[in-house]
């Protein structure tokens, strides 16, 4: 065989050169899936990433925060609970971004670009049964630290109701980082708001009435409201106020924000009730200069339940939270593990599938705290002794679980067992 023919044959047998990674074909699907909910016009992120030029000029910055797992913001460790709306990027998606940057950030053919993602506008689940609005707007200053503010929204109910879903609609999503919703049947939150000259009150000082009322819902940019599973709802006492805890980000100019909340009720009492099950420990005493300080709690279920959601809560010294269940046969069931707690990224997590926990199952919680100057989130410099309390200078150690009982008798058993649970002080 002639040398030229042999060379052509060898060339034909070689693997074809891999095609270049492009924005339109490879990168846009990743960005649209994981980034667009916040990084689009009018949303909370400071810049959009929907267009090729927007991403290219920030490509190295985006790759850095993705490789470090700071973005997309998703705190639960994989394998410790599977949650609705996970924002975790897969390793192959990160590798796609790496190749794109290494190869020079090619745009690609316009015909390969997928459609822009669509996000629900207005009320996602149809017209709510009740819409409540902040009585007056709150002004976020142009500059300064982030603000955590709580607002009391009277519901004006004349009878007990059963909540199927909740949706939060900020008037300006650019300044709202996240929001959590509680119910307070005690009017303690009203008293706290009345004592504050500005609209609302310090969101780091939620009264115990809101804590015992339980969480109703949460919101973060890109979140989509959803109904509880069929036949389930959360009871809302007619004396309850809605307490809305909102985290605001100053954006360079004064902004007024006046949010709305829509609530959907069941037409009839639900077959199964969603009830709050709190784990907490008030015996918090964190000496200055010490870290790896554990605070624990545990609870043994008196009845069978299905676990629907979970919301960990601590302040700035919390570094790690782990929750697991131990079944009667000794099997451990991981429920959530957050290795790098960040007060600014707390959420209410809804499980993709309910987790059945039988009676006599032991639920365990451990929080780990760092009260040293090496903790970048420590608000005190130098560190000071910190104990349990509602203010930002204090600490808390709580995990709220949303569970569904199987009948009214079990609901009352669970309720009284929670009240009788020993409280550390």
CATH number of the domain encompassing residue 316:
2.60.120.230
Q: Is residue 235 part of a domain?
A: yes
* Lookup: tokens for 348: 């209410």
Domains: count for the chain: 3
Residue 4 domain-assigned (yes or no): no
215 to each of 136, 278, 312, 313, 405, how far by Cα in Å? Answer: 23, 10, 11, 11, 17
At residue 346, the pLDDT reads 76
Residues 277 and 415 in one domain: yes
Residue at a domain's end among 252, 270, 288: 270
Q: At residue 12, does pLDDT exceed 60?
A: no
Domain co-membership, 326 together with 235: no
Q: Within a 10 A sphere around the Cβ of 56, how many other Cβ atoms?
A: 18
| Helix-then-strand count for the chain, H and E | 8, 21
The answer to whether residues 172 and 103 belong to one domain is no
Say if residues 413 and 327 touch (Cβ distance below 8 Å): no
Q: Decide which of 251, 270, 289 is a domain's last residue.
A: 270
* 154 domain-assigned: yes
- 117 belongs to a structural domain: no
Show the CA angle centred on residue 261, arms to residues 260 and 267, nearest 5°: 145
Sign for the pseudo-dihedral over CA of 119, 120, 122, 128? negative
Structure tokens at 186: 């005690």
Instruction: Quick: pLDDT tens for 308-326.
Output: 999 898 989 999 999 999 9
Q: Do 150 and 58 belong together in one domain?
A: no
d(CA 21, CA 29): 12
169 lies in some domain:
yes
- Say whether both 265 and 342 belong to one domain: no
Note whether residue 320 is domain-resident: yes
> Does 92 fall in a domain?
yes
166 shares a domain with 87: no
Same-domain pairing of 203 and 297: no
Is 317 in the same domain as 246?
no
Residues 152 and 216 occupy one common structural domain: yes
The answer to whether residues 255 and 283 belong to one domain is: no
Q: Are both 410 and 278 inside the same structural domain?
A: yes
Domain boundary among 241, 270, 299: 270
Same domain, 199 and 69: no
| Predicted local distance difference test score (pLDDT) of residue 392 | 66
Pairing, β 138-140 against β 255-257: antiparallel
pLDDT digits (tens, 9 = 90+) for 84-123: 888 889 999 999 999 999 999 999 999 999 998 887 777 8
Contacts of 345 by beta carbon, 8 Å cutoff, 6+ apart: 73, 75, 178
pLDDT reading at 132 higher than 90: yes
**Residue 6 maps to a domain:** no
> CA–CA separation, 306 vs 355, rounded Å?
5
C-alpha span between 228 and 370 (Å, rounded): 36
What confidence tens digit (pLDDT) does each residue in 358-414 have? 999 999 999 999 999 999 999 899 999 999 986 667 898 989 899 999 988 998 898
Whole-number Å distance between alpha carbons of 393 and 379 = 7
* Residue 160: domain span: 130-270
């Amino acid at each position: 065989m002639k040398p030229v023919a042999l060379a052509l044959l060898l060339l034909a047998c070689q693997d074809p050169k891999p095609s270049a990674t492009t924005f339109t074909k490879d990168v846009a699907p990743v960005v649209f899936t994981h980034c667009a909910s916040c990084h689009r016009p009018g949303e909370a992120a400071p810049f959009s990433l929907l267009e090729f030029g927007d991403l290219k000029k920030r490509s190295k910055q985006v790759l850095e925060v993705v490789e470090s797992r700071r973005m997309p913001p998703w705190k639960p460790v994989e394998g410790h609970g599977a949650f609705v709306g996970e924002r975790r990027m897969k390793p192959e998606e990160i590798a796609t971004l790496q190749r794109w940057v290494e190869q020079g950030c090619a745009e690609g053919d316009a015909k390969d670009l997928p459609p822009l993602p669509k996000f629900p506008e207005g009320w996602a689940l149809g017209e709510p049964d009740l819409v409540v609005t902040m009585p007056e707007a709150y002004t976020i200053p142009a500059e300064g630290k982030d603000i955590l503010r709580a607002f009391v929204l009277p519901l004006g109910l004349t009878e007990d109701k059963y909540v199927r879903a909740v949706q939060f609609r900020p008037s300006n999503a650019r300044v709202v980082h996240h929001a959590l919703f509680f119910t307070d049947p005690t009017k303690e939150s009203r008293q706290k708001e009345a004592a504050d000259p500005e609209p609302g009150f310090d969101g780091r000082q939620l009264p115990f009435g809101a804590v015992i009322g339980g969480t109703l819902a949460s919101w973060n940019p890109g979140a989509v409201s959803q109904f509880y599973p069929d036949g389930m709802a959360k009871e809302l006492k007619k004396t309850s106020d809605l307490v809305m805890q909102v985290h605001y980000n100053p954006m360079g100019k004064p902004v007024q924000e006046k949010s709305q909340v829509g609530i959907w009720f069941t037409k009839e009492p639900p077959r199964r009730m969603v009830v709050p099950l709190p784990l907490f420990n008030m015996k918090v005493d964190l000496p200055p200069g010490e870290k790896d300080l554990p605070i624990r709690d545990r609870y043994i279920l008196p009845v069978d339940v299905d676990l629907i959601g979970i919301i960990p809560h601590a302040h700035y010294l919390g570094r790690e939270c782990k929750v697991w269940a131990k079944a009667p046969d000794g099997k451990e069931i991981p429920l959530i593990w957050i290795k790098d707690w960040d007060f600014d990224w707390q959420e209410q997590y809804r499980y993709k599938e309910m987790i059945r926990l039988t009676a006599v199952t032991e639920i365990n919680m451990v929080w780990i705290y760092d009260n040293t100057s090496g903790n970048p989130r420590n608000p005190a410099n130098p560190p000071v002794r910190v104990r349990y309390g509602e203010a930002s200078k204090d600490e808390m150690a709580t995990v709220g679980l949303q569970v569904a009982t199987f009948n009214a008798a079990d609901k009352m058993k669970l309720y009284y067992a929670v009240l009788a649970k020993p409280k550390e002080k």
